[in-house]
Structure 1
Amino acid sequence: MTIREQQEQLELQILSPYACPNAGHAKRERPEMPCPYRTAFQRDRDRILHCNSFRRLKRKTQVFLSPVGDHYRTRLTHTLEVAQIARTISRALRFNEDLTEAIALGHDLGHSPFGHSGEAILNRICPHGYRHYEQSLRVVERLEKGGAGLNLTEEVRDGILCHTNRIAATKEGNVVRVADRIAYMNHDIEDAIRAEILRKEDLPTDVTEVLGDTKTKRITTLVGAVVAHGPEKIGMAPEIQAMHDKLHTFLFDRVYYNPIAKQEEHKAELLIETLYRYFISHPDALPEEYQRIAQQEDIDRAACDYISGMSDGYAVDLYTELFIPKGWRSSASPIS
Structure 2
Amino acid sequence: MRQPHACDPATARGRRHPEEESAFRSCFQRDRDRIIHCSAFRRLKHKTQVFVEHEGDFYRTRLTHSIEVAQVGRTIAGALGLNIDLTEAVALAHDLGHTPFGHTGEDALDELMAPWGGFDHNAQSIRIVTSLERHYAEFDGLNLTWDTLEGIAKHNGPVPDPLPYALSEYNALHDLELHTHASAEAQVAALSDDIAYNNHDLHDGLRAGLFTEDQIAGLPIVGEAYKEVDRLYPGLDAYRRRHEALRRVFGAMVEDLIDTSRALLDGVAPADASAIRHAGKPVIAFSQGMFDDLKQIRSFLFSNMYRAPRVMAQRARVTTALMDLFPIYMNDPRLLPLRWQSGEVDLTDEAGVARLVADYIAGMTDRYALQQHARFTGTDILRDVGDTGLPET
TM-score normalised by length of structure 2: 0.76
1:294 match: 345
Matched, 1:246 2:296: yes
Q: Which amino acid in structure 2 is aligned with residue 294 of structure 1?
A: V
Q: Is the 8 A contact 2:98 2:121 kept in 1?
A: yes
Matched, 1:271 2:321: yes
Deviation, structure 1 residue 209: 5.8
2:187 match: 174
Deviates more, 1:233-242 or 1:27-36: 233-242
Q: Is the 8 A contact 1:159 1:168 kept in 2?
A: no
Match 1:54 to one of 35, 41, 55: 41
Q: Is the 8 A contact 1:133 1:164 kept in 2?
A: no
1:108 match: 95
Deviates more, 1:141-150 or 1:71-80: 141-150
Secondary structure at 1:113 match in 2: coil
Secondary structure at 2:185 match in 1: helix
2:274 match: none
Q: Is the 8 A contact 1:122 1:130 kept in 2?
A: yes
CA distance in 1, matches of 2:157, 2:306: 18
Gaps of 5+ in 1: 1-13, 327-336
CA distance in 2, matches of 1:206, 1:320: 42
Deviation, structure 1 residue 203: 1.9
CA distance in 2, matches of 1:101, 1:208: 27
Q: Which amino acid in structure 1 is aligned with residue 330 of structure 2?
A: I
Deviation, structure 1 residue 43: 0.4
CA distance in 2, matches of 1:210, 1:178: 22
TM-score normalised by length of structure 1: 0.88
1:134 match: 123
Match 1:149 to one of 141, 146, 152: 141
Structure-2 change in CA distance of 1:238 and 1:270 (3 Å): same
2:11 match: 24
Can you list the C-alpha shifts for 1:34-70, whole angstroms capped at 9, x where unaligned? 1111111000000000000000000001101134322
Q: Is the 8 A contact 1:210 1:240 kept in 2?
A: no
2:73 match: 86
Q: Is the 8 A contact 1:211 1:243 kept in 2?
A: no
Equivalent pairs, count: 313
Q: Which amino acid in structure 1 is aligned with residue 123 of structure 2?
A: E
Matched, 1:121 2:171: no
CA distance in 2, matches of 1:32, 1:211: 52
Secondary structure at 1:197 match in 2: coil
Matched, 1:186 2:217: no
Secondary structure at 1:63 match in 2: coil
Secondary structure at 1:172 match in 2: helix
| % identity of equivalent residues | 37
Secondary structure at 1:145 match in 2: coil
Can you list the C-alpha shifts for 1:219-238, whole angstroms capped at 9, x where unaligned? 10111011111342211222
Match 2:376 to one of 322, 325, 328: 322
Deviation, structure 1 residue 290: 2.8
| C-alpha RMSD over aligned residues | 2.0
CA distance in 1, matches of 2:379, 2:209: 35
